Amino acid sequence: MYIVCSDLEGVFVPEIWINVAEKTGIEELRLTTRDISDYNILMRKRLSILDRHGLKLKDITDVIAAMRPLDGALDFLDWLRAKVSVIVVSDTFTQFAGPLIAQLGWPTLFCNTLVVSPVGRITDYRLRQPDGKRRSVEALKSLNYKVIAMGDSYNDITMLKTADHGILFRPPSNIVDEFPEFPVTTGYEELKPIYEKILASEG
């Protein structure tokens, strides 16, 4: 039996931090897991930038409130969930994800948590577990699922490698060049026949 583990940002919704960068004019916040492979280095950099500019959680959630899923994302997700169970496995945070997950019809979400002070400053973050995307796939495989994984960034690669089938969706060229073993897709209609072929082979 197959199950799908998919990234969130860049696959179903826009990149949150890029939207925050555009809203605030802070170009440093445009860096994402597409650019920096070490998630801890990336998050420490983000926290330092937020502190330096005095940005609080509400400044980010106000940006998120105006965000919408990528064009075609909800239709594709509905199509996919009619065929196979889907878990969104993301390195985003519970304090960010709610409005976006609601617009996607509340798929199951595995993600992380921010540490927020009483005055709304983001002081730290807590991973659900180290390398949580890979370990989610491992846990599902231990339950005798076959896993199809989909993502676009450095922090998705261990998940894709551990899955029975890994798919890159709209990745940057540096990811494509570094990991040529994965099929590269650029649109939802391109994904459908890949999923249909994999699911048709079940059993």
Is 91 labelled a binding residue? yes
Distance CA 8, CA 117 (A): 26
Considering the candidates 7, 59, 71, 156, report the single residue annotated as catalytic: 7
Angle, helices 16-24 vs 57-65, to 10°: value is 100
Is 155 labelled a binding residue? yes
Is 90 labelled a binding residue? yes
Considering the candidates 9, 35, 138, 181, report the single residue annotated as catalytic: 9
Q: Which of 92, 21, 90, 15 is nearest to 59 (CA)?
A: 21
Q: Is 202 a catalytic residue?
A: no
Q: Is 7 a catalytic residue?
A: yes
For 95-161, list the strands marked E by DSSP: 108-116, 122-126, 146-151
Is 46 labelled a binding residue? yes
Q: How many helices (H) and strands (E) does the chain have?
A: 9, 7
Is 9 labelled a binding residue? yes
Distance CA 180, CA 174 (A): 10
DSSP codes of every residue in 34-52? TT-S-HHHHHHHHHHHHHH
Pairing of strands 108-116, 122-126: antiparallel
Is 152 labelled a binding residue? yes
> Residues annotated as binding site for substrate?
15, 46, 90-91, 133, 155
> Residues annotated as binding site?
7, 9, 15, 46, 90-91, 133, 152, 155
Tell me the catalytic residues: 7, 9
> Residues annotated as binding site for Mg(2+)?
7, 9, 152
